[in-house]
Chain A
Amino acid sequence: EVQLVESGGGLVQPGGSLRLSCAASGFTFSTYWMSWVRQAPGKGVEWVANIKEDGSEKYYVDSVKGRFTMSRDNAKNSLYLQMNSLRAEDTAVYYCARGGGKFEHWGQGVLVTVSS
């Protein structure tokens, strides 16, 4: 069974940093593109970033470029999102998802709240 479990969320002040993790199991992690997708409270869904199987290609939505960095460790079946210079508008539930274009499996999500 495919499982994706996010961790690392919480409350952070504007300008602060946070690192999200996603532990993957039940599939061969190293053979899939992976993505981060977020959803602000009461709002729609927004793709944030994706990363190729070997980590050699990464793409980001414009609003996070230069602030967020996505990475992966295939030996640990883990995905990461380093978030710096956080803003109030980054407040959202962050999901990791399997796939780079269609998102076949999703984690349960982790809440990131940016507030003073």
Chain B
Amino acid sequence: DIQMTQSPSSLSASVGDRVTITCRASQSISNYLNWYQQKPGKAPKLLIYAASSLQSGVPSRFSGSGSGTDFSLTISSLQPEDFATYYCQQNYNIPRTFGQGTKVET
């Protein structure tokens, strides 16, 4: 199975900050990498797919980059509604696997 490791596990930030979360795969996954945002009590929401493509309706302050084994999610200017937990997920092969999550808090 491909292991997905996110860092940091949590971070403290303020509104307006630039925030970057990294995700590392245990083997190359090309660009088969997705990012999700989850708020308490809610289902995850797809933000970024194929490493860098913005899902329809997602604000442009979210961006993704990377290929192979190293990826990142950047929020260019953190907004109040962005405080949440973020997960990366690979769809290179089965089983689909997620990172452990990164909680962005104030």
Residues of A within 8 A of B (CB): 35, 37, 44-47, 50, 59-62, 95, 100-104, 106-109
Contact = CB atoms under 8 A, between A and B. Distances in A.
B98 A47 contact: yes
Contacts of A106: 43-45
Contacts of A108: 43
B95 A45 contact: no
Nearest to B46: A104
28 contacts: A35-B96, A44-B87, A44-B98, A44-B99, A44-B100, A44-B101, A45-B36, A45-B38, A45-B98, A46-B98, A47-B89, A47-B97, A47-B98, A50-B96, A59-B94, A61-B95, A62-B1, A62-B95, A101-B32, A101-B91, A102-B46, A102-B49, A103-B44, A106-B43, A106-B44, A106-B45, A107-B43, A108-B43
A109 B49 contact: no
Interface in B21-75: 32, 34, 36, 38, 43-46, 49-50, 55
Contacts of B55: 104
A103 B55 CA distance: 11
Nearest to A49: B95
B96 A95 contact: no
Nearest to B48: A102
Given A59-B95, A103-B36, 18 more contacts: A35-B96, A37-B44, A44-B87, A44-B98, A44-B101, A45-B36, A45-B38, A47-B89, A47-B95, A59-B94, A62-B1, A100-B91, A102-B34, A102-B46, A102-B91, A103-B34, A103-B89, A109-B43
